[in-house]
Copies of this chain bind each other. A is one copy, B any other.
Amino acid sequence: MDQQKSVSKAVVARLPRYYRYLRRLASEDVTRISSKDLAARMGLTASQIRQDLSCFGGFGQQGYGYSVETLMIELERILGIASSRRAILLGAGNLGRALLRNFNFSYCGVRPIGAFDVAPDIVGNAYRGIPVHAMEDLETFMSREIPDIAVLCIPGSHAAETAERLVKAGIKGIWNFTNAELREDEIGVPVENVHFSDSLMALCYKIQDE
């Protein structure tokens, strides 16, 4: 744990992407890869890859490349996705249901254990086996099940108050899909804000030259 404290945010932000490529290599039965080949696949330079991975002690062997499996396991440990996290999802509208039905939570070492909504016609349903509870039962459920992560798919206008409620009830982190940005220093637990618009804007930028 001490080791990773000194790793820059920029490197950490790249790790899930490394992990994604390694998973794909493993699924293609590739067992070893050189930094050069990995770089070509990922659109990076070999030296950047060597530098990034050396932050974690470096798992490559000169002339032999990296063991895909060893590197995957090591990244799982570093990213903390080996220790199964329990998640609840708030807001089982279209986006919430899309995540429950289609998103591969287990890929990230996360297990959804319950969903919550205010709509009477949605409460009581289940999606991929995950039951939807009434929002008023949130605290009772949380004190019993102790979830780690809350996935916020509610309207942005309710994001701040709901986050506060979740933190008070002991949530450890918030995955925020609402259009309201939640700040870690304001709500007091780690947050990842998913901003669809950032990537659409990046795309608009890229097609300008076309």
Interface residues of A (CB under 8 A from B): 1, 12-13, 15-17, 19-20, 24, 78-81, 85, 93-95, 97-99, 101-105, 107-110, 148-149, 172-175, 179, 181, 189-192, 194-210
Q: Find out whether the CB atom of A203 lies under 8 angstroms from the CB atom of B192.
A: yes
Q: Find out whether the CB atom of B206 lies under 8 angstroms from the CB atom of A173.
A: yes
Q: Find out whether the CB atom of A195 lies under 8 angstroms from the CB atom of B94.
A: no
Closest residue on chain B to residue A107 by CB atoms: B197
Chain B residues with CB under 8 A of A80: 204-205, 207-208
Chain B residues with CB under 8 A of A192: 199-200, 202-203, 206
- Give the CA-CA distance A110 to B207 in the complex, in Å: 13
Q: Which of A81, A181, A206, A210 has the most CB of B within 10 A?
A: A206
- Give the CA-CA distance A178 to B204 in the complex, in Å: 19
Chain B residues with CB under 8 A of A190: 203, 206-207, 210
- Give the CA-CA distance A12 to B206 in the complex, in Å: 10
CB distance from A151 to the nearest CB of B (A): 8
Chain B residues with CB under 8 A of A198: 16-17, 20
CB distance from A187 to the nearest CB of B (A): 13
CB distance from A77 to the nearest CB of B (A): 10
- Give the CA-CA distance A131 to B150 in the complex, in Å: 34
Chain A to chain B contacts (Cβ below 8 Å), 22 pairs: A12-B202, A13-B202, A24-B181, A79-B201, A80-B204, A80-B207, A85-B204, A98-B98, A104-B179, A104-B197, A108-B201, A109-B204, A110-B200, A148-B207, A149-B203, A149-B204, A174-B203, A189-B207, A191-B203, A192-B202, A192-B203, A194-B199
